[in-house]
Amino acid sequence: MANTPDLSNAGLLDDDEIPQDSLLGHLVGVIHHQFVIPAETLDPIINASGLPEEYRPNRPSATRAFQRACRGLETPKYQEVLFRDPGSDVDIKFGVEFMVDVLKDGSRQLTRKIHFIGNENASKALQDRLEIYAQTTQKEPEKMAKFEFDRKDESITVTELFKDADDLDIGAMTLAKAKKLQDTFDEIKDSYTERYLKTAWWNMARAEGGIPWLKDCGALWFIPKNAIRYVEAFGRMYRTIHNGTGTWRAVPVINTKRHRAYLREDVVEEYQSRYRTFLKNVAEKMDRGWKEEELKENISNYKADFEASLQKELVDRYNKLLGMSISAKVDDFNEKEVELVSDRLKKARDMLRNL
């Protein structure tokens, strides 16, 4: 991939000279395929794309590389292996599930859980060793290792947590996982991956009033017409990164009665979804045990920030674009349309009413 890419025709929209007055915006589909590209290679492409600074992917970070490398240890999350049964000296097939838990920022713990898959040759001693119940699953996960990341020198420290390395190959499994962690970290700490691009796309789409087109579809977003320059710039960058093999589509959405009706449905669903997420976050704040005055102040500030972002990102744009009349005020939400599925959310709503 050249350091001075030619982006003259990459990702440009061709709307057959559709007048702007006839457009609502664009339906954009993006599938974020995996890639690893060194920063020195991708930076010129990002610079040439035309994206403003606030919408460009974050620079590669060793901290984020550590976090991603740790998540990768759960892949494959489940695998079948043969263990030598110490009670019968016979190889027995088990399933092993790997899990990575966050201990704190910069610290992760790797565990495994062994699943008995019905081999009657397993000795009672082995089943007792794993505390298998109902002959299905090891009762408690086994600690394998703790991984700690030092930001200053960008190094990873591995601390083994098991007692006997030979106990059902836990030592060899831990060593293999630790090696995978280090190899992945070394590969991506100075490189961009698809996660950087995915995050940049989401941030840009959200800031420019983008909403999912069909809530559960995932890859399709409606982007209002005023953001066309950002959609084009992102398309240039995306298509150059994937050298024409990625999946990026942007098609115009014409201002028709049917399209406005579709968008109204999606806007209302997005509006309700953000309100439910807001209530969940309020409920979490209430669970933290703060003093009453501190809690009220924190939630009051959070409420104001939520209303401001909702007004800017969603309400102003779509009230004007579609002639809607939704409000960003939390106190004006129509609770008949926003299902409160738990007592925690109802308590959060009541807390907001009493601010």
- Cβ-contact 100, 109 below 8 angstroms: yes
Query: 278, 318, 272, 324: which is closest to 299 by C-alpha?
Result: 278
**Do 197 and 279 fall within a single domain?**
no
**Do 54 and 117 fall within a single domain?**
no
Residue 35 within any structural domain of the chain: yes
Residue 267 within any structural domain of the chain: yes
Residue 121 within any structural domain of the chain: yes
Walk along the chain (355 residues) and give the pLDDT tens digit of each residue.
445 455 444 444 556 677 878 899 999 998 889 999 999 999 999 999 999 999 999 999 999 999 999 999 998 888 899 988 888 888 888 889 999 999 988 999 999 998 877 666 678 888 777 776 555 677 789 999 999 999 999 999 999 999 999 989 999 999 999 999 999 999 999 999 999 999 999 999 999 999 988 766 667 899 999 999 999 999 999 999 988 777 888 889 999 999 999 999 999 889 888 988 998 899 899 988 888 889 999 999 999 999 999 999 999 999 999 999 888 998 887 665 556 667 787 888 888 888 8
Question: Per this entry, what is the length of the chain?
Answer: 355
Residue 8 within any structural domain of the chain: no
**Do 73 and 174 fall within a single domain?**
yes
Residue 4 within any structural domain of the chain: no
Residue 172 structural domain? 64-188
**Do 117 and 227 fall within a single domain?**
no
- Cβ-contact 333, 353 below 8 angstroms: no
**Do 303 and 271 fall within a single domain?**
yes
**Do 143 and 166 fall within a single domain?**
yes
Q: How far is residue 5's CA from residue 50's CA, in Å, rounded to a whole number?
A: 13
What pLDDT shows up at residue 216?
A: 63
- Domain stop point among 166, 188, 210: 188
What pLDDT shows up at residue 253?
A: 93
Degrees, nearest 5: CA angle 50-55-60: 100
Q: How far is residue 26's CA from residue 249's CA, in Å, rounded to a whole number?
A: 10
Residue 158 within any structural domain of the chain: yes
**Do 101 and 181 fall within a single domain?**
yes
**Do 157 and 73 fall within a single domain?**
yes
What pLDDT shows up at residue 12?
A: 47
Instruction: Name the 3-class secondary structure at 19.
Output: coil
**Do 171 and 146 fall within a single domain?**
yes
**Do 230 and 324 fall within a single domain?**
no
What pLDDT shows up at residue 11?
A: 47
Structural domain tally of the chain? 3
Q: How far is residue 244's CA from residue 106's CA, in Å, rounded to a whole number?
A: 37
Residue 311 within any structural domain of the chain: yes
Q: How far is residue 152's CA from residue 139's CA, in Å, rounded to a whole number?
A: 39
- Domain stop point among 188, 218, 243: 188
**Do 47 and 108 fall within a single domain?**
no
- Domain stop point among 238, 255, 272: 255
What pLDDT shows up at residue 74?
A: 92
Q: How far is residue 218's CA from residue 239's CA, in Å, rounded to a whole number?
A: 20
**Do 35 and 121 fall within a single domain?**
no
- Cβ-contact 197, 238 below 8 angstroms: yes
Token digits of residue 140: 């408690």
Residue 14 within any structural domain of the chain: no
